[in-house]
A and B are shown apart, each in its own frame.
Chain A
Amino acid sequence: MTLDTYRLAEEPKYYPSADEVALYTAAYDLRLPVMLKGPTGCGKTRFVEHMAWKLGKPLITVACHEDMTASDFVGRYLLGPEGTYWQDGPLTLAVRHGGICYLDEIVEARQDTTVIIHALTDDRRILPLEKKGELVKAHPDFQLVISYNPGYQSVLKDLKESTKQRFCAMDFDYPIPSIEAGIVASEAGLNRADAERLTKIAGKSRNLRGKGLDEGASTRMLIHAGRLMSAGLSIDAACKFALITPITDDPEMRSTLTAAVDACI
């Protein structure tokens, strides 16, 4: 089996903010595991996709969640008509056949689950499948990338120190306004002036990060709002629909954000 279905056919657009492409390439050359930190919707996933495409490797993405167990990563025995059979999990697939495995929002998974990646992320580069009694040696092309958002998770969720220390890490944040406006303009097909307005509005909401809002409006949200504007919605309607209402349920905060949008347009 090959991972052809996991190869990206088209280039995912990515607008570098700094030297992240060079850093990632260096890490991949050495097959070092990489950790991407940053708020939601700032482009972490897009960056990994872009790099996978650039390096020509298949990308297997796993969105982590609370109920995630080790089997969901490595695979499990299933019952078939002929008896039981082994089904590789996404991590095992990437390890066996050589791909980039991207564990998105890894802290969402339970800490005891995530230790299975330990043997993969040091110089051993192996994945023991206990249930199957197999030791999978990582394919030379295999690389592990994880992402997490240090901001909004409760203090209860954090990576184990032993997990953290296996990774090189890059900080991601929302791009500076001029770059972000460019991204919004090109992704949403919007004129530059409107894109700048949206970026400014997002800046206002990000001022409230940790002071009433868990997170400010993300670049992804801005692109959504921009697309709605390209489709003919007014800027305040688009902001209400794509930014304000999704981001908070607090009436006071909504009213504040509405006023902030109004101040910027």
Chain B
Amino acid sequence: MLVSDWIRSEGLSPALRQAFKGPHRDAYLRAYDRLHGAGYGAGILSDFTSAAPRTANYAGPDQAIALAADASRIAIKAGPKVAAAYLTLSPNMALKLGDADRFCQWRDMVATVLKSNPKAVLELLERAEMLLDRLGLEALGAWIQTGLRQAEQDKDKALAFFKLETPEAQLLLERYAGDESFPALVTGLKYFYTALWRDLPVLREAAIEGPNGRVRRTSFSSGIIQMPTAFSGFRGQEQQLYRASIVHVGAHITYGAARFELGQIKPLQVAVVSLIEDARVETLALRDMPGLIRLWLPFHTAQTDGLATAQNLFAGLARALIDPGFRPTHGWICKGAKMFRDCGARLDDPSISRHIGNILGNDLGQTRVQFDAMSYVVQPAYRDDNLGLWNLPIDPETPPHSEELETDLNDTRQSKADGSSHDRKQEQQDPETPDPAESVKLVAADPDAGRKVASLPEYDHHAGIERSDWVSVNAYQPALGDPEFWDKLQERHDATISRIKTVIVASETGKRRRLKQQAEGEMLDLDAAINASIALRSNRQPDPRVYECITPPNRSIAVHLLLDISQSTADPAGAGINVLDMERDASAILASTMSQLGDDLAITAFSSSGRNDVRVIPVKTFDDPLGEVTGMALSGLRPGFSTRIGAALRFAAGSMGGLSRYRKLVLLVTDGEPSDVDVSDAEYLVEDARRAVQQMRAHGIDAICVALGPDAGQRQTEIFGRKSCVQISDIATLPNKLSAFYLRMTR
């Protein structure tokens, strides 16, 4: 006898009868039978019996019945325990999600995780409610996609992501949570700080949790301000809070003096002295900008009647010192406020902070108020952690000095997120790493030492989102090759070069245009003159522009040439030469063509080895002259790694942002479709590159592509569009065709 027959004969529980009616009841019983027959144990069956009716109430009977099949799949791949957890969670998720469609999306998400990393399912389920509360369904989907994508190859990494153990998972959680977080506000914050205090120190993002799991506050030290990725608990006030915080730090930097010596004073006194110093610099700032009080005061929420804990007393004192309307009752706060007021005339002197702080710290130490330095967090939230005020002996929190100061802000976001400070280590080992934006140096640089120069976004067409700071671009110094490159090029391509010269001369003269109806010029424009005469005779105002002239050609164009040097360019392209050799010659000829035309040119060779290492080699920047070094750098290029086109395009476009030219062009020479070691989905990189091209065009930068080889072209056409893509099947003709193509494109 089937179990369902037995149930039918025994009768269903009232809840089940209520939830599943008519055909749904049969479907439910069939699902029950299958689950029973699979033999995962009684636990799963009872979980299903209990979860199904409640899920059905919120998400409909179809979804509830589908849970059985889900549970079965999960049990097979991840074990019955996980399946049980899934079933137990389902009613709550259904309640939160509210309808069948959304619940179905949630089930799909679980299925996706199950498919790519069964172990991670349990971790996801354990945190699913919290994640859903924070993120909402759509952002949860994006967060899951990102997690899977991030650790495509690395199952342990994915596991850690879903356990929320990686800083990146936390960071993304904050970002997707929709609270306005640091990355969204950073531009405005920089503006704001500069407006108020003029010289902006380096501004960096720090993880939300500080050491010992404490909530992180803004921190400043040695010319660097670090702000937490997000302040939790201030939804809707994020911008105000960040502004309040950065202005507070600005006040420290503007009105503060040398760091206080720590000496022998106790942590309690350190906290009180810092608090007084906070109030001192704020008061000075308020004298200059009284409106700041409206920025700071909303975060002072201390009340007069709180318990006399250290935290409350500190918050009360902080408020009493800057809020004239606050009437504290506690004697300690009143004393502090009075001492501070009495020093009103001497506020310029930082030593008063130390003086008042010491006295107040002593007073508090003699009471029974407990102060736990380990768990103390500065209040209100906008104030900094005060580490910048003190000369601390060895401080793990002190941000690194010197060489890192100059590095781009984006640099350390990654390393902070990694927590391992990988980049920092690298820089400390090699502080002399030259700036890749500078010209090619003649020193024999170690070509293996890359240096991070940019973090770029990437577009995931599955999730429909653009992940910021997803791709790291590392610049590598060019290996210097043959110093006689140019001479040999001339020998190899003598005919081509001289032909192109002729074309240039012709195109120069062909560009002259006759301009009619000009205010001045070499000759009369007869048509305009006659019109003017007619106007005069009919007593109308004549148009005085009756001349014509011929314009000199006026080129204003900048080109960033991107050379694909992935491993496939090592393929032979003729007798004894490979694809890269051809690319090299072609770009050299193009470069000399362009320098004759006076066009600006940069050449960057690129390859990639996963999203964390998009490798660019600056062969020639816009500022470098075209010369022997360019030739040596070109001849030093060696094939290797993969092709991440989107990232390369974004990098090239970024380098042209500041140029003021009439036309800006990124010209990509590649022999294959996008691919990379950490991406299995062929469409992913194509779609990303397509998006990069669209974004560049929106910013007025054209992207065109030269696809090499008889099989190339299909993918490139999808990315660049038919008009902006040319396929060269006989690679040997590349040097010849590239310059001609260029002349045509830029006419």
Contacts and interface: CB of A to CB of B under 8 A. Distances in A.
Overall SS of chain A's interface? helix
Interface stretch (A28-36, A66-74, A117-125, A181-189): A66-74
Interface string B688-713: 00000000000000000000000000
B520 to A, nearest CB: 5
Interface stretch (A5-13, A44-52, A163-171, A256-264): A256-264
A260 B192 contact: yes
A67 B520 CA distance: 11
A207 B291 contact: no
A166 B295 CA distance: 53
A72 B519 contact: yes
Contacts of B254: none
Contacts of A78: 544
Contact of A260 (B196, B294, B533, B536): B196
A256 to B, nearest CB: 4
Contacts of A261: 291
A255 B195 contact: no
Query: Which of A67, A78, A208 counts the most B-chain CB atoms under 10 A from its CB?
Result: A208
Interface residues of B, number: 30
B291 A264 contact: yes
A71 B519 contact: yes
Nearest to A216: B195
A208 B194 contact: yes
A59 B197 CA distance: 42
Which of A69, A207, A253 has the most chain B CB atoms inside 10 A of its CB? A207
Contacts of A265: 290-291
Interface in B147-204: 187-188, 190-192, 194-198, 200
Contact of B188 (A81, A255, A262): A255
A135 interface: no
Nearest to A261: B291
A106 to B, nearest CB: 18
B292 A263 contact: yes
A208 B536 contact: no
A155 B660 CA distance: 8
A156 B660 contact: yes
Given A155-B660, A263-B295, A212 B194 contact: yes
A76 interface: yes
Contact of B536 (A71, A79, A255, A262): A79
A205 interface: yes
Contact of A204 (B195, B239, B520): B195
A76 B188 contact: no
A260 B292 CA distance: 9
A118 B740 CA distance: 43
Contact of B519 (A69, A205, A252, A253): A69
B387 interface: no
Contact of A207 (B188, B194, B520): B194
B520 A81 contact: no
A260 B520 contact: no
Contacts of B520: 69-71, 76
A207 B195 contact: yes
Contacts of B542: 79
Contacts of A162: none
A256 B187 CA distance: 10
B289 interface: yes
B732 to A, nearest CB: 40
A257 B660 contact: no
A207 B536 contact: no
B532 interface: yes
A257 B59 CA distance: 49
A87 to B, nearest CB: 10
Nearest to B188: A252
B650 interface: no
B582 interface: no
- Among B188, B191, B542, the most chain A Cβ lie within 10 Å of the Cβ of B191
A97 B197 CA distance: 52
Interface centre among B190, B196, B532, B544 (most CB of A within 10 A): B196
Contacts of A69: 519-520
Contacts of A256: 188, 191-192, 195
Interface string A236-265: 000000000000000011011101111111
B584 interface: no
A200 B198 CA distance: 13
Contacts of B200: 211
A205 B544 contact: no
B519 A260 contact: no
Contact of B187 (A71, A72, A252): A252
A61 to B, nearest CB: 20
A122 B294 CA distance: 60
Interface in B632-676: 660
B54 interface: no
Contacts of B560: none
Contacts of B544: 76, 78
Contact of A262 (B197, B294, B519, B533): B294
A253 B191 contact: yes
A79 B539 CA distance: 12
Contact of B291 (A81, A154, A263): A263
A154 B659 CA distance: 10
A80 B294 CA distance: 68
Contacts of A70: 520
A207 B197 CA distance: 8
A76 B536 CA distance: 17
A79 B534 CA distance: 11
Contact of B289 (A156, A253, A263): A263
B243 interface: yes
A78 B542 CA distance: 9
B726 interface: no
A259 B194 contact: no
A79 B188 CA distance: 57
Contacts of A79: 532-533, 536, 542
B196 A204 contact: yes
A204 B243 CA distance: 15
B322 interface: no
A130 to B, nearest CB: 10
A264 B197 CA distance: 12
A81 B537 CA distance: 7
B247 interface: yes
A259 B290 contact: no
Interface in B340-361: none
A262 to B, nearest CB: 5
Contact of B195 (A80, A156, A208): A208
Given A204-B196, A252-B188, A253-B191, A154 B660 contact: yes
Contacts of B290: 264-265
B243 A259 contact: yes
Interface in A187-210: 200, 204-205, 207-208
B196 A212 contact: no
A255 B192 CA distance: 9
Contacts of B198: 207
Interface in B519-560: 519-520, 532-533, 536, 542, 544, 556
A41 B587 CA distance: 48
Nearest to B532: A79
Contacts of A155: 660
A222 B720 CA distance: 49
A265 B493 CA distance: 71
25 contacts: A71-B519, A76-B519, A78-B544, A79-B532, A79-B533, A156-B660, A204-B196, A205-B195, A207-B194, A207-B197, A208-B191, A208-B194, A208-B195, A212-B190, A212-B194, A252-B187, A252-B191, A253-B191, A256-B191, A257-B195, A260-B196, A261-B291, A262-B291, A263-B291, A264-B289
Given A67-B519, A259-B192, A264-B291, 15 more contacts: A69-B519, A69-B520, A71-B519, A79-B533, A79-B536, A79-B542, A211-B190, A211-B194, A212-B194, A255-B188, A256-B192, A257-B195, A261-B291, A263-B247, A263-B291
In the complex, the 3 A-B pairs of residues with the closest C-beta atoms, listed nearest first: A256-B191, A263-B291, A263-B289
